[in-house]
């Protein structure tokens, strides 16, 4: 059965860009293929003078990849959307240009700014509130601003145009099924909540180590680095879901209030040479492929000292978490992909005398790709029944039928901001990392090096995969 979207037109600005081709159109295609975008028209716009045919070809080619996931109706819907889509060559920062386009499209319209942040800002500034029809939704990509102040300015510009619940700040990690599953795991299982606090949990690690290197993205990444690119946005969102108080519902108001309360209590404490680490990769080999030094990648300016691996220890100063370190780490060009949250429990208060073998702390591991859940426990045997042994209970989790961008887009198209970052939260995420960025700029924390394809520098805070917590 096909479900109808509240939004009638999805207008993508920056339609010829990389983000649209790589993530947005595939996410949309899955939605359409599954009959979850009935009644929606797609319109592309950008400063490139694509012909309507070139744009349609681009859309059809991307949509073709989703045909396998579609039934007959889904295939027909994909074809219909690809054939009917329009393209408008406009400079959306020019006075009146975006307003004219917006006024000409069947509403409500969701305007997706798949543009560099400063261009999005200019495009929004060029709009006047009376040029924005009621019901319009504004969809902003990350990074949202470049610091707390610019995020505040951008929030100010946007709320002049539409109400807060019509602004969607995209963080596609909120569309990852396993990330959302943290809520199901925590709040639909009675045994976890009593131990989900500082009395029983020793540390939490949220790790997103990628084996991808720069992948030609110097234009964006060299000005961002791992802390801004991953930790300031995605990993803080995951942390908030791990740490939040039980909401009464998982509707947008309750859930986003709970997320915001965690982030307001969070900070990274000085001295930053103890609470943070940064490093940059040098030449190496990843799965048989040679990778050059980061500083020799095309478009990189070595003088920027951009980090490709970052690790920070976040403190959440509230009753539940005071004193529990939350270690957030992410980097590029590592030898092993490791994408997981690891919750390490405290040791038992007293191990009955007579046991031998190792009593290691329990660990709960939530894998974000592959999507898995693992619980490490100590049990007796085999062999000597008084010798402790480690076992792991493991389950593969079901992937969603939509891609993360599809999940997020579905919220936009149905007028639900649940999977979007709220304005105050976007500012708080910058407030948390900004002192670190300033300290790194001053050179307080050395920029270490690691070989591409290796495990990263030694002696950092996060424990190795399947290792036990440090003393
Ligand atoms: C993006 C970052 O937001 O997330 C990339 O800009 C990163 O650098 C990516 O590789 C990771 O997300 P995913 O969904 O591809 O695992």
Please check the confidence at residue 468 and state whether its pLDDT lies above 80.
no
Pocket residue to mutate for ligand 1, from 172, 179, 294, 400, most atoms within 8 A of Cβ: 172
Ligand 1 close to Cβ of residue 407 (< 6 A): no
Domain with CATH 3.30.360.10 in the chain: 176-400+422-451
CB atoms within 10 A of CB 193: 11
- Alpha carbon distance 298, 287 (integer Å): 21
Which whole number is the average pLDDT over 147-169? Answer: 96
CATH code: domain 176-400+422-451 is 3.30.360.10
pLDDT on residue 466: 62
CA of 389 relative to ligand 1 center, distance in Å: 37
User: Taking a C-beta distance cutoff of 8 angstroms, is the pair 247, 416 a contact?
Assistant: no
CA of 121 relative to ligand 1 center, distance in Å: 22
Closest ligand 1 atom, residue 234 Cα = 3
pLDDT on residue 117: 87
User: Taking a C-beta distance cutoff of 8 angstroms, is the pair 5, 99 a contact?
Assistant: no
CA of 421 relative to ligand 1 center, distance in Å: 16
**Could you tell me which of 8, 89, 78, 3 has the C-alpha nearest to residue 44?**
89
Pocket residue to mutate for ligand 1, from 27, 229, 369, 371, most atoms within 8 A of Cβ: 229
pLDDT per residue as tens digits for the range 19-50? 999 999 999 999 999 999 999 999 999 988 88
How would CATH label the architecture of 9-169? Answer: 3-Layer(aba) Sandwich (3.40)
CA of 230 relative to ligand 1 center, distance in Å: 7
Enzyme catalytic residues:
234
Closest ligand 1 atom, residue 229 Cα = 6
Q: Which residue has its alpha carbon closest to ligand 1 atom 13?
A: 173
User: Taking a C-beta distance cutoff of 8 angstroms, is the pair 330, 209 a contact?
Assistant: yes
Ligand 1 close to Cβ of residue 210 (< 6 A): yes
Tokens at residue 66, please? 């989703």
Closest ligand 1 atom, residue 404 Cα = 14
CA of 88 relative to ligand 1 center, distance in Å: 29
pLDDT per residue as tens digits for the range 245-298? 999 999 999 999 999 999 999 999 999 999 999 999 999 999 999 999 999 999
pLDDT on residue 470: 38
pLDDT per residue as tens digits for the range 283-321? 999 999 999 999 999 999 999 999 999 999 999 999 999
Helical (H) or strand (E) element with 136: none
Domain with CATH 3.40.50.720 in the chain: 9-169
Tokens at residue 304, please? 């920027």
- pLDDT band, residue 462 (cuts 50/70/90): confident
Tokens at residue 171, please? 């963080």
Q: How far is CA 101 from CA 10, 95, 107, 467, in A?
A: 12, 12, 11, 56
Q: Which residue has its alpha carbon closest to ligand 1 atom 8?
A: 229
Ligand 1 close to Cβ of residue 229 (< 6 A): yes
The backbone torsions φ and ψ at residue 338, rounded to the nearest 5 degrees and listed phi first, read: -140, 110
> Tokens 């092993």 map to which residue?
336
> pTM here?
0.95
Q: Which residue has its alpha carbon closest to ligand 1 atom 2?
A: 229
pLDDT per residue as tens digits for the range 85-107? 999 999 999 999 999 999 999 99
Ligand 1 close to Cβ of residue 222 (< 6 A): no
pLDDT on residue 5: 92
Q: Which residue has its alpha carbon closest to ligand 1 atom 4?
A: 230
Ligand 1 close to Cβ of residue 209 (< 6 A): no
CA of 272 relative to ligand 1 center, distance in Å: 26
**Could you tell me which of 182, 158, 136, 137 has the C-alpha nearest to residue 427?**
158
């Amino acid at each position: 059965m096909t479900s109808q979207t509240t939004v009638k037109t999805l207008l993508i600005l920056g339609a010829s860009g990389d983000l649209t081709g790589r993530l947005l159109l595939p996410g949309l295609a899955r939605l359409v293929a599954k009959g979850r975008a009935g009644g929606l028209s797609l319109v592309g716009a950008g400063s490139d003078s694509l012909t309507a045919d070139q744009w349609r070809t681009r859309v059809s080619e991307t949509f073709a990849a989703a045909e396998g996931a579609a039934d007959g109706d889904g295939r027909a819907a994909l074809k219909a959307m690809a054939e009917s889509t329009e393209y408008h060559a406009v400079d959306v920062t020019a006075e009146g240009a975006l307003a004219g386009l917006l006024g000409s499209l069947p509403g409500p319209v969701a305007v997706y700014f798949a543009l560099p942040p400063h261009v999005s800002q200019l495009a929004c500034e060029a709009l006047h509130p009376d040029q924005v029809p009621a019901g319009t939704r504004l969809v902003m990509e990350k990074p949202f601003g470049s610091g707390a102040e610019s995020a505040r300015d951008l929030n100010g510009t946007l709320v002049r145009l539409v109400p807060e619940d019509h602004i969607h700040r995209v963080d596609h990690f909120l569309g990852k099924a396993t990330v959302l599953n943290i809520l199901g795991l925590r709040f639909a299982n009675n045994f976890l909540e009593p131990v989900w606090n500082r009395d029983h949990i020793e540390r939490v690690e949220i790790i997103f180590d990628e084996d991808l290197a720069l992948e030609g993205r110097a234009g964006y990444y060299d000005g961002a680095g791992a802390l801004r690119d991953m930790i300031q946005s995605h990993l803080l969102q995951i942390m908030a879901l791990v740490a939040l108080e039980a909401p009464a519902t998982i509707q947008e108001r309750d859930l986003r209030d709970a997320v915001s309360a965690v982030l307001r209590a969070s900070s990274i404490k000085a001295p930053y040479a103890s609470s943070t680490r940064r490093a940059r990769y040098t030449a190496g080999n990843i799965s048989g492929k040679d990778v050059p030094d980061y500083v020799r990648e095309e478009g990189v300016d070595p003088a920027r000292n951009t980090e490709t691996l970052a690790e920070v220890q976040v403190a959440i100063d509230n009753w539940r978490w005071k004193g529990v370190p939350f270690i957030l780490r992410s980097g590029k060009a590592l030898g092993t992909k490791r994408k997981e949250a690891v919750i390490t429990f405290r040791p038992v208060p007293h191990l009955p005398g007579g046991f031998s073998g190792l009593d290691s702390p329990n660990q709960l591991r939530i894998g974000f790709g592959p999507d898995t859940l693992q619980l490490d426990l100590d049990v007796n045997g085999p062999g000597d029944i008084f010798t402790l042994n480690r076992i792991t209970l493991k389950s593969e989790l079901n992937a969603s039928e939509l891609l993360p961008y599809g999940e997020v887009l579905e919220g936009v198209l149905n007028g639900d901001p649940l999977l979007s970052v709220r304005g105050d939260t976007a500012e708080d995420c910058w407030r948390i990392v900004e002192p670190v960025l300033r300290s790194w700029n001053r050179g307080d924390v050395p920029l270490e090096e690691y070989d591409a394809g290796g495990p990263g520098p030694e002696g950092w805070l996060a424990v190795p995969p399947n290792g036990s917590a440090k003393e």
